[in-house]
Amino acid sequence: MKRGSTLFLRIAVFLIGTPVLALGVYGVSWLLNNPVNPEYDHILYPIVIALYVSVIPFFNALLQSFKLLSYIDKNQAFSELSVKALKTIKFCAIIISGTLVAVLPFVYLLAELDDAPGLIIISMVPIFASMVIAVFAAVLQRLLKEAIDIKSENDLII
């Protein structure tokens, strides 16, 4: 039963990473080669660079989640390796949010030129999503660390 649930989660993580990889390879490069308006180039390039920079910690977090699932399969869920994986996921989510927040002024300029105020709100969704992931990973990291400490205390008592 546990093996099936981790297999489902591995497939879900793979399905999360596949569109990001496809957009990074085809979508963003197509956008750079065929801009809607050539006068937006000076604003579009920093946004695209920030998207490519934020993909690196995204895939690192996906790799750490695969490691975490393998620890669960090996019955090492309550170990320091799991705490380290959650810590890395937390830092990756913070880096993604920071990168996307840094590019928000360029998104604002693009929205002003294109008269699209909804673009700013839409660009805030990944920032808030990654912050939620960072907070969730921090809470899980702390709970797991406390559970490991309690387990080690109980092992010493017995």
State the pLDDT at residue 99: 96
**Single-letter code of the amino acid located at 153:** E
State the pLDDT at residue 1: 45
User: What is the reported pTM?
Assistant: 0.87
Give the whole-angstrom CA distance, residue 106 versus residue 46. Answer: 7
State the pLDDT at residue 3: 67
**Single-letter code of the amino acid located at 129:** A
DSSP string for residues in 38-91? GGGHHHHHHHHHHHHHHHHHHHHHHHHHHHHHHHHHTT-SSSHHHHHHHHHHHH
Give the residue carrying structure tokens 């010493």: 156
Give the whole-angstrom CA distance, residue 116 versus residue 11. Answer: 36
CA atoms in the 13 A half-sphere facing the CB of 45: 4
State the pLDDT at residue 5: 74
Under-70 pLDDT residues of the chain: 1-4, 35, 158
Coil vs helix vs strand at 104: helix
State the pLDDT at residue 112: 87
State the pLDDT at residue 116: 81
